[in-house]
Structure 1
Amino acid sequence: MSQPHYEQQYLDLMRRVWRDGDERIDRTGVGTRSILGATMRFSLDDEAVPLLTTKRVYWKVAAREMLWFLTGDTNIRELVRQGVHIWTDWPLDAYRRATGEAIDREAFEARIVEDDAFARQWGDLGPVYGAQWVNWPRYEPVGDGLYRKAGKGHDQISDLVRAIRETPGSRRLLFTGWNVAEVGRMALPPCHMTYQFQVANGKLNGLLFQRSCDLGLGFAFNIFGLSMITRMLAQQCDLEPGDVVWQGGDVHLYLNHASLVDEQLSRIPAGRPKLRINRRPSSIFDYRIEDFEVVDYTPQSHIPAPVAV
């Protein structure tokens, strides 16, 4: 008897959330159906990557975002230069509310790219993801119980690579973006917040805990990002990639995604794409988008749906 397609667990979860989820008004005002707690597991053996096949996933956008995180950058300017728009809506919304100007996204992004001062003022997202991953703030005492930020922050990613190599049996092989002291300054607090890794039988397994998951739109990028960084870490540490495990906290579908849900659940998953890394750079920070290649990926058509901001 053949094994179910790896994507079936995702479709089953989508059906469960849409059918049984608690309907509520959320932060965005759009409304969701939500459950608490879900787990999925995918194999990375033989270059496998759990890209969704029931709709097209623009994996290069997810890959560019992951590489951007690893630079520690928190300004959308470099993403926009690469044609990546997934972070623009938050600063655009802030600009519209602050100025009252009904500027469209294309014009806003053009100003971000062309105007240094404008990009500094309106393109920064606060200390999101990459800032915490590679530059988690350190503090030093200045007297009377007061502290100040001290120089270069803590680089969790470099420490992780070193720990995987030197202490592979450790239960502390992880990094996180949830810095309680700085959450209030972030355009969006980290959803894919904590990554943990395990070395077993010469393979590197990766786990992501995601406190909040937009199952209709965000998940496809999140599982690709987990698979990608697990593969990168495995390569840097002379290991084979094993499994990736995704754990969702608040797993939800937006109420205005009904057509997406109906269409996607009507489709049958097929195919087994592969993710190849065609070069081994000198460090985890030196990968380029050209190093990654997805083959044997023949998805069904894209399913459009609005993003809730």
Structure 2
Amino acid sequence: MNIVDRMYLDTYREIRDEGISDEGQEVRPRWSDGTPAHTKALFGRVHRYDLSRGFPILSLRRIAWKTALDEILWIWQKKSNRVADLGSRIWDAWANYEDEEGYATIGKAYGYQLGREIEFPEGRMDQVDRVLYLLKEDPGSRRIVTNIFNHDDLGEMGLQPCAYGTNISVKDGKLNMVLIQRSGDFLTAAGPGSFNVVQYALLMHMFAHVSGLEVGELLHVVTDLHVYDRHFDVIDRMIDHSKDSGEKELPKLKIKRRVEDFYDFKVEDFELEGYETSYSTGRIEVAE
């Protein structure tokens, strides 16, 4: 196991043994058969990853890291809300809107918010361009912040943003990031080394690469970190399958060519060296 696997197991056991259940309460999420999707949850969990030590990805099960990369490019690079612009089908359930050209979208969420032009003190630009501008022109700034939880548009979003805020801090030539998440599905997205962590570690590498910086620490803050009732058995089977053969190193992320412009990155530019895992959970039922 690697250090991220151990963080995952420790946090899972804490949720299982000490988490607060919402059984008996009215909940919004439903399983595909209409049954309420209940959870056990912890309040306010923080996980810290030093990216200079390796890439923080779970090896207890296979994480579809290229799918995670495709989605983060869809949101941060393409700034799109059209599901046709995404390589996977993971947003289809929330594509309840159409744009002026008739394309199915997730409404005014995620990429739409990052692509909105705003009148900043530095000039009129969108949030991603402002991050890139400040990393080049004022990397010591303590105001490299993004926020996509726009209250004015919440009623027109297919899903209100879960991971909604970032704050970048450059110290000693290293790019560090805080990722703020209001709610996190432990198994599919927000557990240590899982989908969301992989995505924002990739984003950090991209921002650092085009800004001439090294990667530092990712601090992941989740307000409500939960396991759904139908996911406990899935995680238990995954743990039963794992064999602890001692400490393993984290894999290394390789960017295969020099990229000068953030908007030129492609999925095929990335390689994860030393990522080994033989276990797959198969299709995981997702509460909607």
Q: Where on the TM-score scale, by shorter chain, does this alignment land: which range?
A: 0.7 to 0.9
Taking a change above 3 Å as real, the CA distance of residues 268 and 89 of structure 1, as seen in their structure-2 partners, is: farther
Instruction: Report the 3-state secondary structure (helix = DSSP H, G, I; strand = E; otherwise coil) of the residue aligned with 2:10.
Output: helix
Relative distance call for 1:199 and 1:298 in structure 2 (3 A) is same
RMSD: 2.3
1:275 alignment counterpart: 253
> Equivalent of 1:291, from 254, 269, 272?
269
Output the amino acid matched with 1:293. E
Matched, 1:90 2:91: no
Any idea what the Cα deviations from partners look like across 1:11-48, whole Å, max 9, x if unmatched? 211111122111115320211111110011111115x2
> Contact 1:204 / 1:240 at 8 angstroms: preserved in 2?
yes
Structure 2: give runs of 5+ residues left out of the alignment.
30-35
Seen in structure 2, the aligned counterparts of structure 1 residues 174 and 137 have a Cα distance that, compared at 3 Å, is closer
- Give the match for residue 169 of structure 1: 140
Residue 51 of structure 1 is matched in structure 2 by 57
Report how far residue 268 of structure 1 moved. 4.7
Matching residue of 2:6: 8
Q: Distance in 2 between matches of 1:274 and 1:289?
A: 16
Q: How far apart, in 1, do the equivalents of 2:105 and 2:232 lie?
A: 33
Looking at structure 1, the residues matched to 210 and 108 of structure 2 have their Cα atoms a distance apart, in angstroms, of 27
> Which aligned runs of 4 or more in structure 1 are off by greater than 3 angstroms?
117-122, 268-271
TM-score w.r.t. the length of structure 1 is 0.80
Q: How many residues align?
A: 266
Alignment match of 1:65 (pick from 45, 64, 71): 71
Maintained 8 Å contact 1:77/1:119: no
Q: Given that residues 79 and 114 in structure 2 are in contact (C-alpha distance below 8 angstroms), is that contact kept between their aligned partners in structure 1? A: yes
Instruction: Give the corresponding residue for 2:83.
Output: 76
Gaps of 5+ in 1: 96-116, 139-152
Return the match for 1:202 from 173, 176, 180. 173
How many percent of aligned residue pairs carry the same amino acid? 29
The aligned residue for residue 189 of structure 2 is 218
Aligned position for 2:129 = 158
Residue deviations 1:250-275, cap 9 Å, x none? 11110011212212333356452111
Residues 1:187 and 2:158 aligned together: yes
| C-alpha distance in structure 2 between counterparts of 1:18 and 1:154, whole Å | 45
**Which of 220, 225, 233 matches 1:259?**
233
Structure 1 position 19 matched with structure 2 position 17: yes
1:61 CA displacement: 0.3
The residue number in structure 2 matching 1:100 is none
Q: CA deviation at 1:52?
A: 0.6
User: Equivalent residue for 1:233?
Assistant: 207
TM normalised by structure 2 equals 0.85
Q: Which residue of the partner structure matches residue 109 of structure 2? A: 128
- For 1:72-108, what per-residue CA distance to the aligned partner results, in whole angstroms no more than 9, with x for missing partners? 11011122xx3x11111223xx59xxxxxxxxxxxxx
CA distance in 2, matches of 1:222, 1:229: 11
Bigger radius of gyration: 1
1:306 aligned to which of 279, 285, 288: 285
Query: Does the Cα contact within 8 Å between 2:4 and 2:57 map onto a contact in 1?
Result: no
Change (3 A) 1:65 1:77: same
* Matched-pair contact (CA < 8 Å) for 1:271–1:297: no
